[in-house]
Amino acid sequence: MGIVFVSKWASQPEYGVLFSNLSESDAAAVVSRLKELKIKYRIQGDGDTIAVSPPDTVYDLRLTLASEGLPKGGSVGLEIFDTSELGTTTLQEKVKLLRGIQGELERTITALKAVEAARVHITQPEKTLFRGKNYQPKASVLVKLRGTETLTPKQIKGIRHLVAGSVEGLTPENVSIIDQTGKLLSPTEEEKGFEAEATRINYKRSIEKLYSKRIEDMLSKIVGPGKAVARVTAYLDFSSNEKVEENYDPAGQVIRSERSIEENTAGTAKGGVAGVVSNLNPDEKLLNPPSTKSAGKKEAVKNYEISKSVSKISIPAGRIQRLSVAVLLDGTYEEVPTGEEGKTTKIFKPLAPETLERVEQLVKGAIGYNPDRGDIVTVESLPFKEPDINLAKALEETSSRDFIMGILSAALPYAFFILFFLIVVRPLVKFLTTPTEAELDLERLLPTGIQELEQEIATERKNIAAVPELEPAIDLDQLEELMAENSRL
């Protein structure tokens, strides 16, 4: 029965995986094409894996099917426009374009290492005169992750910007991303506020740590390592604004244009008594002598250009408003005898005020001290608490013991494996491979080959031939008489 099973198993053809994780449409298309090519295939898994026989043809089949556009990847891209149909309406063209963009985005997102599959849905409202600026397209992305893979915040942000950059008028804020479990991956407005606050706090801590390290590194060269502690509190302004100023200089006047107009008029006029009589009767008594009149007009206009300067001031976010610095220095210690023989005690002596003042000036220079913004620097000399020697020894012994126990616990499985090999496996192998004494005797007695067997047979034949023929030493007649006597008795 076992021989039949083994022979049946050995006669089965071998299969190699051609494609895996196929959609139903792609799997159906690939199977149909394999049937046309008369290739042996087998469907595995949940119907999304196709294997072919023999395995050597896998790569050739992949190239052949790829040249025919199989598999399509479960989504339709811009190749949807490769074929055109008569009578296509504008609405159908828009729907095709939207499907093509969605398919191309799905393929691009699936190219990420952590993403196994993706689906993209885009809503693009119609542009009308009544919507105006309220026209805002939106998009939703569903990603199926591979195994235990996860998307980092930077990758999520990259997907949102990728989708937003592929659709006109779409902003990253209007792109929502979820995974196969329905978990929302894109941050909400509340989470964005928390992220912004966390970014501000981290930036503030980095500024404070930078100044503290700068001060401690500088002072450790003066008072020694471990004898200076600096703490900095930075007050930052995260508001950002822009200011535009226009300044005019009256002293910087320049004539831009000038216009001058001058008019002169002259003429004679007759005068007299007003009325009809003076006009009908030109009597010299009634008329005055003619008089000459002249008039003049002069106008000058000058336009001045006043110098103007326009400055645009941009105030970035995160600028330092004020710094508060506290520096603690250890002093010196003087050994004084306690009165007991051979015993002394240490007495703390703070640093001199002059030294503290010089250190304060150094600290101010290191942080860029600015009194106008209200910076504060405080330097004090106080005794540092010395570590307890017994406690330090106990901690060191505990650390050493823990280190040894860690090594032993890590080496215990290896030691057990070595002992198991030496005590159990090695004797067992030796017992199975070493022949017994009976097997050795049998091996000595049995010939090891046909030629040796023939030689032994020939030797035995020679020995039989060499044996001399012996004559019977007993008389037969006497033997019969003895047998007869015994029978009578």
Q: What is the rounded average pLDDT of the residues 103-127?
A: 87
For residue 468, pLDDT over 50 is answered with: yes
Same-domain status, 106 and 231: no
Is residue 365 a part of any domain in this protein? yes
How many residues make up the chain in this entry?
489
pLDDT grade, residue 447 (50/70/90)? low
Same-domain status, 62 and 104: no
Does a structural domain hold residue 347?
Answer: yes
Least confident of 174-178, 333-337, 454-458: 454-458
Q: Give yes or no: residues 326 and 204 share one domain.
A: yes
CATH no. for residue 381? 3.30.300.30
User: Which of residues 223 and 132 earns the better pLDDT score?
Assistant: 223
Contact between 259 and 221 (Cβ < 8 Å): no
Q: What is the pLDDT of residues 27-76, one digit of tens each?
A: 888 888 888 888 888 888 777 788 888 888 888 888 888 877 777 765 66
The whole domain housing 84 covers 79-186
Q: Is residue 287 part of a domain?
A: no
- My answer on whether 342 and 218 are in the same domain is yes
Confidence check: pLDDT of 226 > 50: yes
Do residues 101 and 128 both lie within one domain? yes
- The pLDDT confidence band at residue 406, using thresholds 50, 70 and 90, is confident
Instruction: Identify any residues that bridge with 267 across adjacent strands, giving them in sequence order.
Output: 293
Residue 280: inside a domain: no
Measured distance CA(385)–CA(333) in Å, rounded: 12
Kindly state whether residues 177 and 122 are assigned to the same domain. Answer: yes
Helix (H) or strand (E) holding 268: strand 241-272
Q: Is there a single domain that holds both residue 26 and residue 121?
A: no
In a domain, 210, yes or no: yes
Two tokens at 31? 């199977």
Q: Give yes or no: residues 110 and 157 share one domain.
A: yes
Question: Of 397, 417, 434, which one is at a domain's C-terminal end?
Answer: 397
Provide mean pLDDT across the span 450-466: 68
CATH code of the domain in which 48 resides: 3.30.70
Q: Where is pLDDT greater, at 24 or 448?
A: 24
* Calpha distance 407→401 (Å, rounded): 10
**Mean of the pLDDT values across residues 267-275?**
58
Same domain assignment for residues 125 and 161: yes
For the CA atoms of the chain, what is the radius of gyration?
A: 56
Q: What is the pLDDT of residue 324?
A: 95
- How does pLDDT run across 133-149, given as a tens digit for each residue? 567 899 999 999 988 88
Closest CA to 175 of 122, 125, 138, 135: 138
Q: Look at residues 397, 423, 453 and tell me which one is the last residue of a structural domain.
A: 397
Q: Of 32, 27, 57, 56, which is closest to residue 43 (Cα–Cα)? A: 27
111 and 155 share one domain: yes
Confidence of residue 435 (pLDDT cuts 50, 70, 90): low
Instruction: Give the residue, 200 or 250, on which the prediction is more confident.
Output: 200
Judged against a pLDDT cut of 90, whether residue 230 lies above it is answered with: yes
| Chain centre distance of CA 26 | 32
The verdict on residue 257 lying in a domain is no
Mean pLDDT of the chain: 79
Residue 251 domain flag: no
Q: Say whether both 27 and 127 belong to one domain.
A: no
Name the pLDDT band for 95 (thresholds 50, 70, 90).
Answer: confident
Provide the number of structural domains found in the chain.
3
Q: Given pLDDT bands bounded at 50, 70 and 90, which one contains residue 322?
A: very high
**Which of 26-40, 355-369, 389-403 has the largest mean confidence?**
355-369
pLDDT digits (tens, 9 = 90+) for 276-309: 555 555 555 555 556 666 677 778 887 777 777 7
Q: At what angle do helices 153-166 and 90-110 cross, to 10 degrees?
A: 160
Given this model, what pLDDT does residue 158 score?
Answer: 93
Residue 472 lies in a domain: no
> Is the four-CA dihedral 9, 14, 17, 22 of positive or negative sign?
negative
| Residues 6 or more apart whose Cβ sits within 8 Å of residue 42 | 15, 50, 51, 52, 53
What single-letter DSSP state applies at residue 114?
Answer: T
pLDDT at 327 over 90: yes
Boundary (domain end) residue, out of 25, 47, 68: 68
Q: Which two tokens stand for residue 168?
A: 């006109």
Same domain, 176 and 325: no
